[in-house]
Structure 1
Amino acid sequence: MKKLVLSMVITAAAAAAFAGSAFARDVWVNGYTRSDGTEVRGHYRSAPDSSYNNNWSTEGNVNPYTGESGTRERRNY
């Protein structure tokens, strides 16, 4: 019985870690007002890095929050 309970705890912890890692690199951007008075609502974006192709707006990628497909052409470098 102890092995079954331990196995269930380990499985639950692994599932939680996997589910949490799906969006672990996302960054919240606070809302703000532009100098022309336009309000920009807060939103998530992918974490900054040196890769152009892994951004949600690039072809082949999908924004997990809006379901929108990327439209920017991929770069081959």
Structure 2
Amino acid sequence: MKRFSIYILGIFFVLFAFDNLSYARGGHRSSGRSYKSSSSSGTVRVRGYYRKNGTYVAPHYRTRANSTKYDNWSTKGNVNPYTGKVGTVEP
């Protein structure tokens, strides 16, 4: 009976490990990050994902990547429209 219990615990451990691995990869083979953008705005929605170290990053919005630092929400003079936080970073 003890051997059977260890066997069952081993199966649950393996299933749990693979379940977390699939979430870390965003449910498919990719970097784990998923972006959805609107062509008319500079906003990109980032889905939640797990980092390699197991830390969960909650879903959030960010500015679309481009070649300037002046239009990022964290830059001084700008305000994040989703949180209301004022930018503090010097460009």
Q: Which runs of 5+ in 1 are unaligned?
A: 1-22
Partner residue of 2:76 out of 59, 64, 71: 59
The alpha carbon displacement at 1:73 in A equals 0.7
The alpha carbon displacement at 1:37 in A equals 1.0
Which runs of at least 4 in structure 1 moved beyond 4 Å after TM superposition? none
Is 1:28 aligned to residue 37 of structure 2?
A: no
The alpha carbon displacement at 1:29 in A equals 0.8
**Counterparts of 2:77 and 2:62, CA distance in 1:** 16
Listed as ranges, the matches of 1:30-49 within 5 Å are 30-49=47-66
**Identity of counterpart residues, as a percentage?**
52
Aligned CA RMSD, in angstroms, stands at 1.3
Alignment deviations for residues 6-46 of structure 1 (CA, whole Å, 9 cap, x no partner): xxxxxxxxxxxxxxxxx822111111101111100111111
Q: Flag the structure with more relative contact order, 1 or 2, with Cα contacts below 8 A and sequence separation at least 6.
A: 1
Question: In structure 2, what residue type is equivalent to 1:59?
Answer: K
**Counterparts of 2:77 and 2:42, CA distance in 1:** 18
Q: Which runs of 5+ in 2 are unaligned?
A: 1-39
| Number of equivalenced pairs | 52
